[in-house]
Amino acid sequence: MSAKEAPFRMESDLLGSTAVPIEAFHGAQTQRALENFPTGNRRTIGDYPDLIRGMMVVKLAAAKVNCAGGFLSGRVADAIVASAEEVLREELYDRFPIHFLHGGGGTSANMNANEVLANMAEERLGGRRGEYQLVHPNDHVNLHQSTNDVYPTACHIAIILKWKELRGALERLAEAFSVRARELASQSRIARTCLQDAVPIGFGNFLGGYASLLKRSLRRLQRLVEDLYSVNMGGTIVGRKKDVPPSYLSAIVPAIAEELGDTGFRQAEDLYDAAQNPDPIAAVASMLSILARGLVKIGKDFRLMGSGPECGFGEILMPPVQPGSSIMPGKVNPVIAEFLIQTAFQAMGHGAACQVAVDHGELDLNVWESIMIANVLDAMSELGDGIRAFEFKCVSGFTVVVDRNTENAGTIAPMLVELMHKCGYSAASAVCREAGGDREKLGRMLREVGPLPQVPDLEEDEK
């Protein structure tokens, strides 16, 4: 049977009646969103499991608090809670089919959640899908809530959940660099500034710098993610507390914390501010973009150090993972480093979209959180993919070309620095002037001054 011939049920909302596929767990408002915002092959909110998890946690916590306060019967509350738990347990994300960039400040996403849980709970209690005689999307599932507080809170929860995954990948990459730094502490390499030869240092010093960058990024991101533990649940309509009972207002955030097993959650000090300004999400996006830029630098460094191998730097060999050309035999490209770089480029673009969403907030509610949450979660996913591949297939397996690096560490630039230490900067400059730009002559003159500089005790320097 084709989609057009599929049986439908009729549901009503503010705008009248609409046909909903009879097997669907969503209702009229979700159906209108599907018609208004056709997804084509684009992502849906169900493609962001952490966002769905966030909404389910909010809904079941609200049902429990409303039951404890006497606002919902135990029978209805239990059915809503059991339905939300089923969505989480069975990962029923296909029941959330609306476009991830739906308009309305998240209303379609909130109603999608309300309708799915209402229909699941209705059937649990012996009713029929789409009738809402026993459990209603607005009157029961959404009781004492608004999209204004549900959606931002779910967004915060989603990023916190996703961060745990990205944090693990970053920690492993930082540790991989630390391990390789210790392994290669005594291996010299030529440092470069402005892509020109400078002085000998150890690979341990160089790789340790990467580890420090990643650890610093971890600390910064952790601090920014911690700001997301401040949520605006209870500030139901643009931050007003008067729209919910005092008992609900004081209990809803602790209930969410209990469901997530995380005591860090707290109610925002200024609920009006929380509705107006999603800058804590934008701050995470900005830091992800900064991290991405650092990862681009690391990936490009590996491409430079591995370039050639005969006519480039040729200082390291990355593990070969696939042939590099359809026509040039023997060519192997640094594809893992390039994968990391491109995931980082994507993350930068996601960050830019989030900043624009902050720029264009108006008055009492920033309605652009859909694009913010999608881009932050996408950035985290893509960076995680790039980081894991780079750590496993590149950092842990690259080798140093010892002869090339030892030769580089004893070239003219290091000898000039050694001469400067022995005789002073002016004397070393005078030798350069006398050579007149002839590198071979300059090399001979430096060798006449004394022995080649000794490569420093890199292992001791590392300590």
Active site residues: 325
Rounded Cα distance between 213 and 301, Å, is 14
DSSP H helices, 132-245, are 147-183, 203-227
Centroid of chain to Cα 447: 53
Cα-to-chain-centroid distance, residue 267: 24
Residue 230 has, within 13 A of its CA and on its CB side, a CA count of: 17
- Kindly give the pairing relationship between strand 230-231 and strand 196-202: unpaired
Count the Cβ atoms, other than its own, within 10 Å of residue 153: 29
Neighbouring residues of 148: CB distance < 8 A, sequence distance ≥ 6? 105, 232, 235, 236, 237, 238, 239, 275, 365
Based on the number of CB atoms within 10 Å of its own CB, is 343 exposed (0-12), middle (13-18) or buried (19 or more)?
buried
Distance of CA 353 to the CA centre of its chain: 14
Burial of 301 by CB count in 10 Å (0-12 exposed, 13-18 middle, 19+ buried)? middle
Please choose, from the candidates 205, 258, 242, the residue with its C-alpha nearest in 3D space to the C-alpha of residue 65. 258
The burial of 85, by beta-carbon neighbours within 10 Å (0-12 exposed, 13-18 middle, 19 or more buried), is given as middle
Half-sphere exposure of 207 (CA within 13 A, CB side): 30
Residue given tokens 């003159």 in the structure block = 445
At residue 144, φ and ψ (nearest 5 deg) are 65, 25
Q: Report how far apart, in Å, the C-alpha atoms of 423 and of each of 259, 419, 426, 428, 429 are.
A: 70, 6, 8, 7, 10
Q: For residue 382, what are its two tokens?
A: 């893509």
Closest CA relative to residue 25, chosen from 100, 108, 109, 121: 121
SS3 395: helix
**155: buried, middle or exposed (CB in 10 Å: 19+, 13-18, 0-12)?**
buried
Q: Are 80 and 26 contacting, i.e. CB atoms less than 8 angstroms apart?
A: no
